[in-house]
Structure 1
Amino acid sequence: MRPETTFSDSNSTARPLLTIAIPTFNRAQDLIAALMVLEPQLVAYPQVEVLVSDNASADDTPQVLAAAQERFAAQGIRLEIQRHAENIGSDANFVSCYHRARGRFFWLCGDDDLIVPGGLAQLMPHLQDAEGKPSDVDLVYATSYGFREDYQRERQVDPFGRRFHTLRNPRDVSMVVNIMFTFISGMVVNKERLESLPHEDPAAFIGTNLVQLSWALPLLLHHRRSIVLWERPVAARQGNANGYSLGRVFGEHLAGNVTRLLPGRPDLSDPILNFTLRRWFPSILLDVRSAGNETLKLDEAHAALQQTFGNNSRYWIFTYPALTWPLPLAKLYTRVTAMLSKLIYMAHLPGFWRKQT
């Protein structure tokens, strides 16, 4: 579906180096915060465009964007706005952002997440060489930290003092990023390179709640070089997830999309799925159970996850207890298995616990 309205503050036809795309719906206040934190960072980078795709918000989002566009234009910052005539769903809005983005690199960011001050400065040197030409980086993983109230007061840094690592082995990328391939604000992709590779149109994945995998995993499959930014340039707002089946999306859909996008490469798909079972599911399930969040449909989770992962021992050892045992016992057990999972992770990646020289 075509957007109802489209505006642009730039007449330039040159392809930007980077598009930061923000899909939004009825989160005017969160969007204000995201744009205010990003705005002063953009002044130094005229080769970056910002695209905001409004999914027919009924709140003050149009007014917020009109004011932001005026401010941005006064500083020479490219801000493009599209507004859909009706809500087309989050997946379709993400895909709309991807198709509309003109940048050689593409960074989809949630409207409730923040690129913290200095975050853009961490990223930009990796997207171009010393002569200002686009680099050969396929993926950049921007690590993150969670916050609920004040992203500055709750700021977290890398405990090992790392700045970044360069990865050339795609299996290392799979192990380091793992389930975070699904976090939309955490992956910067080389869209120009992806356009030159055989890949499915992201629209084919609408309805899975994981369309973002469609532009990241093909680059992992045809990998050359990736970067991990360890200084946590993204602050991820906690507590906003709702409206989907956790078991179905991160069971059937995750496994299906990963194997579909990484065909014949269990060396790349297994680290993503196994980490999800060992560490991510136990943590998120306990958080959801403790919060009493019924919108994620935990009552359906066991059936959905067992159907997908029932033949994987990690489901029964790590995930199942966190989902079904009495909450106090599940929390205690998961503390122990989390330490085991961390040891497994560190054993597989022995070189990633020191600063890159």
Structure 2
Amino acid sequence: MVKNKILLSVLIPTFNRDKYLEKALTTFFEQITDDIKENIEIIVSDNHSIDNTEEVLKKFDKEAKLDGLKFKFSKNEENIGPDGNFLKLIKKSNGKFCWIFGDDEFLLKNGLLKILEILDENSELGLLHIGNQNLKNKKEVFPKDETQKFIKNVNYMISFITANIFNKECIDWEINYENCKGSNLIQENFYFQSILKSKENIYLNDEIFTTERADNVGSYKLFETFGKNQNQIFDLFIKNGLEKSTVDFINKKMLREFFPMYILNLDKKSKWENENVYEEMKLTFSQYLEFWIFCVPLIKFPKLIKKPYFLAIRILNKLIKIIGR
């Protein structure tokens, strides 16, 4: 690795998760050895927390200064929302690659070194996705002519911040990203630019990070976010290389695999209870047969029938995967 050059910016947006944040930072600090510390920076943006986040950050700042690590943190005067916090961090970064890392995720042993080695060895990389698809190899490189195949493999996990590391050199800063705030998916703008502008992208199957939280979905309107908002982003990139067939592939997979489990739990008190799920989803997905087969019955059926129907959906999804192999 080139000395005195920041290869990776680890960007951690945080809000009222002091204990998770402390563990997340510990897992990074433990893995930053003398031979790589010049190649990595960690920047944390506290979105106006009212817990002990500031004390946690001051502790790590002191440790970073003693060890000569590149570490910075700041606290917003008010909560600027997740999109605003992501954008702030990206603008403050100095690395070639940016990794927006969830404050409730933790690096696993040797995870950081594995990531840095891949970034160092693949200078023309656009996006590195960390996933768990059953691909042939642990690391699969997708050249330019396989971009759509790569996006289909990443699928709706394109929204998951910790799973994606993007090349900041691919980003067009003439775009006014302030207009993208409020979607809860501003990060996808950076991911798709990196994917579509680069010569290659990589899908990595490896144990790099984990989380201790069972429900790791943000506090937002889930069906609006992954329906209308996400498809508005898709529409932007259809003009710039994203194929409509790839968008359809992602939407259909979400309707089969992602949405049903959340629809099933709508009867329980949840953060999405104020959404009109049927009307919200219909606006975006009514043209897909999968919406009417996999989602509408779970929305409309009586409670006693919903769980058996959901189990039938899971069986059908397994059959679809077997047939698709």
Output aligned runs, 1:108-147, within 5 Å.
108-129=100-121, 135-143=123-131
Matches within 5 A, 1:1-357: 15-43=5-33, 44-46=35-37, 47-129=39-121, 135-143=123-131, 162-168=137-143, 169-195=146-172, 200-236=175-211, 237-263=213-239, 265-286=243-264, 288-289=265-266, 292-297=268-273, 299-327=275-303, 329-345=305-321, 350=325
The answer to which of 35-44 and 95-104 deviates more is 35-44
Deviates more, 1:330-339 or 1:115-124: 330-339
Q: Does 41-50 or 158-167 show the bigger shift? A: 158-167
Gaps of 5+ in 1: 1-12, 145-157, 351-357
The alignment's C-alpha RMSD in Å is 2.5
Aligned partner letter, 2:70 = R
2-structure distance, mates of 1:199, 1:276: 32
For 1:127, the aligned partner's letter is: L
Residues 242 and 295 in structure 1, CA contact (< 8 A), matched pair in contact too: no
Q: Distance in 1 between matches of 2:320 and 2:222?
A: 25
Aligned length: 316
Letter in 1 for 2:89: C
Change over 3 Å in CA distance of 1:324–1:81 after alignment to 2: same
What's the TM-score once normalised by structure 2's chain length? 0.88
- 1:95, 1:137 → 2: CA distance? 21
Question: Displacement of 1:199 after TM fit?
Answer: 7.0
1:141 corresponds to which letter in structure 2?
A: H
Q: What CA distance in whole angstroms lies between the structure 2 residues aligned with 1:324 and 1:268?
A: 29
The answer to whether the Cα contact below 8 Å between 1:245 and 1:301 also exists between their aligned partners in 2 is no
Unaligned runs of 5+ in 2: none
Q: Aligned equivalents of 1:96 and 1:333: distance in 2?
A: 44
Please say which of residues 166-175 and 176-185 is displaced more in the overlay: 166-175
How has the CA–CA distance of structure 1 residues 49 and 223 changed in structure 2, closer, same or farther, with 3 Å as cutoff? Answer: same
Deviation at residue 68 of structure 1 after TM alignment: 0.7
Kindly state the Cα deviation for residue 315 of structure 1 after the two structures are TM-superposed. Answer: 0.8
**Separation (CA, whole Å) in 2 of partners of 1:241 and 1:115:** 19
Describe the shift of the 1:143–1:86 C-alpha distance in structure 2 as closer, same or farther (beyond 3 A).
same
Structure 2 contact 221–275 (Cα < 8 Å) conserved: no
Match of residue 8 from structure 1? none
Distance 1:194 1:337 in 2: 39
Q: TM-score, length-normalised on structure 1? A: 0.80
Cα displacement (A) at 1:111: 0.8
Q: Secondary structure at the match of 2:80?
A: coil
Alpha-carbon distance in 2 for matches of 1:187, 1:203: 21
Deviation (angstroms), 1:163: 2.1
